[in-house]
């Protein structure tokens, strides 16, 4: 069992730790995500209320979204890897800028937002509100290296200056304040680079309204709580990436198929889920389907990245985990801009 309770991230830890120092903070039991059950319950209720008030097209529970849009069971027996679509447009965007403070929730949120958005682009959907077909924006090479979308933007809206946050609240932020590209937006808003000093610029004090006006041009339409393997699998198959919070830790060494074992240490950590493998041969080999996690610690792990039986690789810094090892995590699916339509995405096994 992982170490519990986790310790509050210290205020004197600094905002520009090295990637190694950041990893050691998590290994030593410092909390990047909230572990207090009562605070988590309140955040979940706040999230549910916010999503429910968005309108009839929004669903606080992913199960309701799946049934309403007829994609229940769509991922059964299939391989999904949303990072492949992202890398078509932004090669080299993974693993993104390495975390330098306790802002893992913002990194996870950014990775989920980006994958959901690009899935919408690949599907070629017309946005029901704007009437426009979304395209992938141009981003500089440095902006791509930083991760395409800024982790700093959601982090600025956490409401306090200290580290640590909750996935429910970060997901709510993306539906209220939108996403920001890693580029210079003018007027003292240059998000091309990620660093701790810039990340600490706002927190208790919110960003100014003129910054918010830019972010709200790219709102994530809605989000939903995912519960259970089938919901997670089917959401990912339809291009809805997942941000997740939990206490599990994993080996830095992947096996021959990119799978990492769960370890006993425990991390209070958020990571995005960008893929799912429910193929029968995977269930036979590992006794479980697998979920693909994108971490925010740079190239922190090693071992093969090629997907079993497929001519594709998981991104640097990512790993597959057995579902039974991650089933208790908080998981929130991001809808991107167009809501919850069923999406016809190219099959990973046939498209590469």
Q: In this predicted model, what pLDDT tens digit does every residue of 200-235 receive, in sequence order?
A: 999 999 999 999 999 998 899 999 999 999 999 999
Q: Give the CA distances from residue 352 to residues 23, 85, 119, 343, 349, in Å, rounded to whole numbers and listed in that order.
A: 34, 11, 16, 18, 6
Beta-carbon contacts of 14 under 8 Å, excluding residues fewer than 6 positions away, are: 101, 196
Q: Determine if residue 116 is left, alpha or beta; phi over 0 gives left, psi from -120 to 50 gives alpha, anything else beta.
A: alpha
Q: Are 164 and 9 in contact (CB under 8 A)?
A: yes
**Among 176, 189, 191, residue whose Cα is nearest residue 139:** 191
Q: In this predicted model, what pLDDT tens digit does every residue of 265-301 receive, in sequence order?
A: 999 999 999 999 999 999 999 999 999 999 999 999 9
346 C-beta neighbours (distance < 10 Å), count: 13
Q: May I ask the CATH architecture of the domain 52-351?
A: Alpha-Beta Complex (3.90)
Cα separation, 51 vs 102, in Å, equals 27
**Among 38, 36, 32, 85, residue whose Cα is nearest residue 237:** 85
What residues in the chain have per-residue pLDDT under 70?
1-4, 127-133, 338-340, 348-352
Q: What is the pTM of this model?
A: 0.95
Q: In this predicted model, what pLDDT tens digit does every residue of 130-142 receive, in sequence order?
A: 666 678 889 999 9
Q: What are the φ/ψ torsions at residue 74 (nearest 5 degrees)?
A: -65, -25
Exposure on the CB side of residue 51, measured as CA atoms within 13 A: 30
DSSP per position, 40-72: HHHHHHHHHHHHHTT-TT--SBHHHHHHHTT-T
Beta-carbon contacts of 211 under 8 Å, excluding residues fewer than 6 positions away, are: 185, 187, 189
Cα separation, 271 vs 280, in Å, equals 26
In this prediction, residue 289 carries a pLDDT of 98
In this prediction, residue 52 carries a pLDDT of 94
In this prediction, residue 1 carries a pLDDT of 44
Q: Are 181 and 135 in contact (CB under 8 A)?
A: no
**Among 323, 305, 277, 337, residue whose Cα is nearest residue 82:** 277
Cα separation, 107 vs 296, in Å, equals 6
Give the percent of the chain with pLDDT over 70: 94
The DSSP letter of residue 148 is S
Beta-carbon contacts of 36 under 8 Å, excluding residues fewer than 6 positions away, are: none
Exposure on the CB side of residue 339, measured as CA atoms within 13 A: 19
Beta-carbon contacts of 223 under 8 Å, excluding residues fewer than 6 positions away, are: 47, 51, 171, 172, 174, 175, 332, 333, 334, 335
DSSP per position, 197-257: HHHTS-SSSPPPHHHHHHHGGG----EEEE-SHHHHHHHHHTT--EEEEES-EE-SB--TT
In this prediction, residue 88 carries a pLDDT of 94
Exposure on the CB side of residue 71, measured as CA atoms within 13 A: 22
């Amino acid at each position: 069992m992982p170490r519990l309770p986790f310790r509050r991230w210290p205020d004197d830890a600094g905002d520009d730790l090295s990637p190694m120092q950041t990893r050691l903070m998590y290994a030593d039991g410092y909390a990047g995500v909230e572990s207090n059950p009562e605070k988590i319950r309140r955040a979940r209720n706040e999230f549910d209320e916010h999503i429910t008030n968005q309108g009839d097209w929004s669903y606080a529970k992913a199960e309701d979204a799946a049934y309403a849009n007829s994609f229940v069971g769509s991922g059964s027996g299939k391989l999904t890897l949303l990072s492949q679509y992202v890398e078509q447009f932004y090669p080299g965007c993974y693993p993104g800028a390495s975390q330098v403070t306790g802002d893992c929730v913002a990194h996870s949120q950014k990775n989920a937002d980006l994958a959901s958005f690009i899935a919408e682009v690949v599907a070629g959907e017309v946005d029901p509100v704007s009437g426009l077909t979304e395209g992938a924006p141009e981003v500089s090479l440095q902006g791509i290296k930083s991760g395409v979308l800024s982790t700093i933007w959601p982090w600025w809206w956490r409401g306090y200056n200290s580290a640590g946050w909750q996935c429910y609240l970060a997901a709510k932020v993306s539906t209220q304040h939108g996403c920001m590209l890693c580029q210079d937006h003018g007027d003292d808003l240059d998000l091309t680079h990620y660093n701790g000093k810039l990340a600490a610029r706002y927190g208790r004090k919110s960003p100014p309204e003129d910054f918010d006006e830019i972010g709200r041009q790219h709102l994530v339409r809605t989000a939903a709580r995912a519960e259970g393997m089938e919901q997670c699998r089917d959401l990912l198959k339809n291009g809805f990436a997942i941000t997740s919070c939990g206490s599990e830790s994993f080996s830095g060494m992947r096996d021959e198929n990119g799978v990492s074992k769960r370890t006993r240490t425990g991390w209070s950590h958020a990571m995005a889920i960008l893929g799912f493998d429910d193929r029968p041969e995977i269930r036979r080999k590992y006794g479980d389907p697998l979920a693909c996690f994108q971490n925010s610690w740079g190239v922190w792990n090693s071992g093969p990245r090629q997907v079993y039986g497929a001519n594709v690789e998981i991104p640097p810094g990512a790993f597959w985990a057995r579902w039974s090892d991650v089933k208790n995590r908080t998981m929130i699916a991001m809808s991107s801009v167009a809501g919850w339509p069923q999406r016809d995405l190219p099959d990973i096994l046939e498209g590469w």
